[in-house]
Amino acid sequence: MCGIAGIVNFKSREDSPPLLRRMLGIIRHRGPDAFGIYTDETAGLASTRLSIIDLNTGDQPIHNEDKSVWVVLNGEIFNYPELRASLEVRGHRFYTKSDTEVLVHLYEEAGPRMLEELNGQFGLAIWDVKKQSLLLARDRMGIRPLFYHLDKGRLLFASEIKALFVHPDIPRKMNLQALGDIFTCWAPLGSETPFEGVFQIPPGHYAVYSKEGMECKPYWNLDFQETDPWERPVSDWAEELSDLLLDATRIRLRADVPVGAYLSGGLDSTLITTMVKRNFNNELCTFSVGFSDDRFDEARFQQRAVDSLQTNHRSIHCTEDDIGAVFRDVIWHAETPLLRTGPAPLFMLSGLVRNEDFKVVLTGEGADELFAGYNIFKEDKVRRFWARMPDSTLRPRLLERLYPYVFSQGNGKAGAFLQGFFKKSLSHVDSPAYSHLLRWENTSRLKSFFRPELQQGMGGMDDFVERFTTALPQRSKEWGNISKAQYTEIAIFLTNYLLSSQGDRMAMGHSVEGRFPYLDHRVVEFAARVPARYRMNGLTEKFLLKQVATNLIPPELIKRPKQPYRAPISNCFLGPTAPDYADDLLSERAIKAKGYFDAKKVSRLLEKSRKQEGDLLSERENMAVVGILSTQLIDELFLRDFPPSPIKEPENVKICS
């Protein structure tokens, strides 16, 4: 695991080593173990390394036999032993034992087609000296980030945006359309980022940059096959999934350092942890986070899992004050406005992992998206059923199955309000984004806090939905409803939020690598073939995964109601214990000075929150507080005063040429 950076300039020769040193310095948290730079007259590649595989000889950049191909890699290639063996048979010679070196030789054999052979999580750059071309690529699911800026014959790339901003010529300006997207669906669409002129290589894509320009193409697409052979029993599907998950877990334990696991107390992480404990590592260490607020705390389920597995367990206890204290650092690493505080406890958790001398953890991320684990998939099913008879009073009562705690409150007003909410746009069943329209429409109302002239630059809901649906794969028209909903969740929420703001960025903020067995591309492709009724059976989520887990993990962890991971919100930033930066950035003076938000509307929101101590704010109002503060922080950290502290350039940099 590493951070990578580089520059290719076909117009003029740059003194790139000093720039590359500064780029490495500002992302050294991604890999503090070793630093390397390659330069020639046109290109420069740089790596800051977190040593996990081949601790002694695996420093980057790495080259082929005649030094005509150079590579830097952020991430892991899990099937590298098998790839190396086949390459050695074909006559390639290796000088390291690392997974990175297979890339230069595989590139020699197949060019960009090499990507189809990789099982991994990666952002990589390969410089071909003879062809004078740069290959940039990102793993299929977008687990590892890769950003770039292209202007006038010069391309800069890096694992984090802040490394690009080190170059004095790159403008730092907020992307209003992307900002509007974040305040609609929590993340920018497609290759956009919160900053103008900065883009990301999309998941499952590669780009080739040469004197002729830059071309970006997909090498993999998520495709729901919609096969439904009734003759195959669910037990066969469960057996195949079990075998795939076991192998996906096995190869993600490949490391020359200890590997731990996150244990949330839910089905997904407990199943992966059980597979490790039973088959590979009887001394497994696990890690979890608990909350002082009972509404978010899952500690009793985590303890049940630990008692069952007998792992060597470590946990942290997170309070609202803790979240407020680290949130500034969270935004520095996330590099995007946030509407939730969920990344903050995970940032703290990765700090615990690092303090316990672990660099690698397995997680259960991805199972909900692949096997229909979220309520949004159930909502879609209920609303489509209801839409066939919109005047029915019985069909909407299925919502009670999803939110029993709401319908049991008081005199029934909460339940009636929820029914009214889900009845909006009920008849729009032909929309490819039907499953998410309500959530997007509700969240997009947060944009009303922006100044009117900024709202105009963000576009409305119709524009947002059109941009999303236009980018859908052509074959999506053939998919069933549940598949369309899952694709939407994967393409936006999983890739651009969970795996980024809550995943890579929070773990690597403390030099920790997360690994995701459920996101092995073989598991993903399998899940896309599973009949819809086995992903969600009636309103039973993750039906097939529960079949796999039966007799492996405690029944109460399989049957427990799904509790989405959440953390406390506005109370972290308001009140007598609020951090100083929050008081300052939310002040009327700061709101007016930065110019993003309507100061009067923000003042009314904060006054309401302070009077009620945040507890009676609506979900949307709580998100507004976080969104406003995080946007103010983005401006402060990246646009007004960058870098916020002097860059510590690495020493002992390996220089290659």
Catalytic residues: 2
Report the SS3 class of residue 413.
helix
Q: What secondary structure, in 3-state letters, does 266-298 show?
A: CHHHHHHHHHHHHHCCCCCEEEEEEECCCCCCC
- State both tokens at 446: 């947060």
For the four alpha carbons of 481, 483, 489 and 492, in that order, the dihedral sign comes to negative
In order, the DSSP letters of 61-127 are: SEE-TTS-EEEEEEEEETTHHHHHHHHHHTT---SS-SSTHHHHHHHHHHGGGGGGG--EEEEEEEE
For the four alpha carbons of 166, 170, 174 and 180, in that order, the dihedral sign comes to negative
Distance CA 510, CA 354 (A): 6
- Distances in Å between the Cα of 550 and the Cα atoms of 38, 341, 610 are 52, 33, 47
- State both tokens at 163: 């490394």
Report the SS3 class of residue 629.
helix
Element (H, E) at 313: strand 312-318
In order, the DSSP letters of 17-66 are: HHHHHHHHHHTGGG--SEEEEEE-SSEEEEEEE---SSTTT--SSEE-TT
In order, the DSSP letters of 381-410 are: HHHHHHHTSTT-SSGGGGHHHH-HHHHTST
Distance CA 569, CA 622 (A): 6
Strand partners, 207: 136, 216
What angle is formed at CA 470 by the lines to CA 465 and CA 474, rounded to 5 degrees? Answer: 130
Distance CA 518, CA 128 (A): 33
**Residue 587 identity (one-letter amino acid):** S
Strand partners, 654: 36
For the four alpha carbons of 271, 277, 278 and 281, in that order, the dihedral sign comes to positive
Strand partners, 155: 8, 150
Q: Residue 236 contacts by C-beta under 8 Å, 6 or more apart in sequence? A: none
Distance CA 178, CA 231 (A): 47
Rounded to a whole number, what is the distance in angstroms from the first to the last CA of the chain?
23
Report the SS3 class of residue 8.
strand
Strand partners, 69: 128
Q: Residue 179 contacts by C-beta under 8 Å, 6 or more apart in sequence? A: 194, 337, 454, 458, 631
Taking Cα atoms as reference points, which of 35, 125, 128, 54 lies closest to residue 94? 54
- State both tokens at 171: 């403008």
Q: Are 499 and 467 in contact (CB under 8 A)?
A: no
- State both tokens at 213: 């320009």
Q: Residue 453 contacts by C-beta under 8 Å, 6 or more apart in sequence? A: none
